[in-house]
Amino acid sequence: MDSVTSEQRQTLHSTADNGLKIVVVGGFGVGKTTLVRSVSEIRPLNTEETMTQAGEGVDDTGGVAAKTATTVAFDFGRISLDAHNVLYLFGAPGQERFWFLWDRLFSGTLGAVVLVDTRRLADSWYAIDRLEHHGTPFVVACNDFGGPVHTAGQIREALDLADEVPLVFCDARSRESSKQVLITLVEHLQSVVAQDPTPQPIPEPAP
C-alpha cells in the first residue's frame, strides 16, 4: 500500500544545508495531503503557525492595542534532493479566511501547485488570485476524482488562466503522477527565470 516505505529516511544527511519550499494549495479535501504523502520520504507531519495581529486602533487608555491570534494548521513532507538540498512540501488551506497568513508562512517559496477538483473549480479561484497578486509562479494540477471530463480548454476558461501557466491532470495517490506535477512546476520556474530580464538585487544578509 505504502510504496515509499522502503525509501523512508528519518534523518537528513549531515551535509544538508539548504532548505527549499514548494506549497501545495487548494480547497478542502482536494488531495493536498495525499499528494504530499505520495512523494514525501517521511510520513506527512502537521504543525501550526499562530499569527498575532495588532487590533485596529488603540484603546482609550492609550494601552496596547488589542491583539487577535489566528491559528492555521498545515502539513508538510520532505524530499532529500542531494547532499545539500532538501525540498519541503507544504499543504496549505486555500480558503480566503486563511489566506492573509500566506505571505508570512511561505515567503521564499520556489513556487506553488494549485490542486483543483474539476467538480469544484470555484474553490481555487481565490488561491489563483492571490498567487497572481503575490507574483508567485504556479502550476494548476487537476486531481482526478472521476468527475465529468472537462477539456483543458474548458478548465482554463473557467479559471481564467493565463496562457503561460501550465495545466496538468494528475492522480495525487500516484507517486509517479505527483512527481510529474512537481517537475512541471520546476520546469515552469526555469522558463520564468529565463524570461525575467530584471537583474537580481543582492539579497539582504540574513539577520
Partner 1 sequence: MSRPRPGRDDSPDRLYTLTGGRSRAGSDAFDLVTLVVAESDPVPGMQSEHASILRMCRFPTAVVEVAAGLGLPVSITRILLADLHDTGRISARHPRASYRLPDHDILEQVLVGLRNL
Ligand X SMILES: Nc1nc2c(ncn2[C@@H]2O[C@H](COP(=O)(O)OP(=O)(O)OP(=O)(O)O)[C@@H](O)[C@H]2O)c(=O)[nH]1
32 binds ligand X (CB under 6 A): yes
**Which region, judged by CB under 5 A, interacts with Mg ion, from 24-32, 115-123, 158-166, 194-202?**
24-32
140 lines the binding site for ligand X (CB under 6 A): no
Question: From the list Mg ion, partner 1, ligand X, none, which binds 29 (C-beta under 5 to 8 Å, kind-based)?
Answer: ligand X
C-alpha cell at 138: 504556479
When CB distances are held under 5 to 8 angstroms depending on the partner's kind, the choice from partner 1, ligand X, Mg ion, none that residue 123 binds is none
Residues 112, 136 contacting (CB under 8 angstroms): yes
Choose the stretch contacting ligand X; rule: CB under 6 A; options: 54-62, 79-87, 128-136, 170-178.
Answer: 170-178
Q: Looking at 3, 7, 17, 28, which residue binds ligand X (CB under 6 A)?
A: 28
Piece of 23-31, 124-132, 151-159, 160-168 that binds ligand X (CB under 6 A): 23-31
CA 5 – CA 8 distance, rounded (Å): 5
| Min CB(138)–partner 1 separation in Å | 13
In 3D space, the residue among 154, 189, 158, 183 whose CA is nearest the CA of residue 170 turns out to be: 183
Contact 25, 114 (CB under 8 A): yes
With beta carbons less than 8 A apart as the criterion, state whether 19 and 76 touch: no
In order, the DSSP letters of 154-202 are HHHHHHT--TTS-EEEE-TT-HHHHHHHHHHHHHHHHHHHHH--SPPPP
Judged by CB under 8 A, the stretch of 54-62, 75-83, 118-126, 153-161 that binds partner 1 is: 75-83
Cα 82 to Cα 4, 85, 140, 186, 193: the distances in Å are: 17, 6, 27, 16, 22
- Tell me which residues touch partner 1 (CB under 8 A): 11-14, 16-21, 33, 39, 45-52, 71, 73, 76, 78-82, 84-88, 90, 105-106, 108, 110, 135, 137, 175, 179, 182-183, 186-187, 189-190, 192-194, 196, 200-207
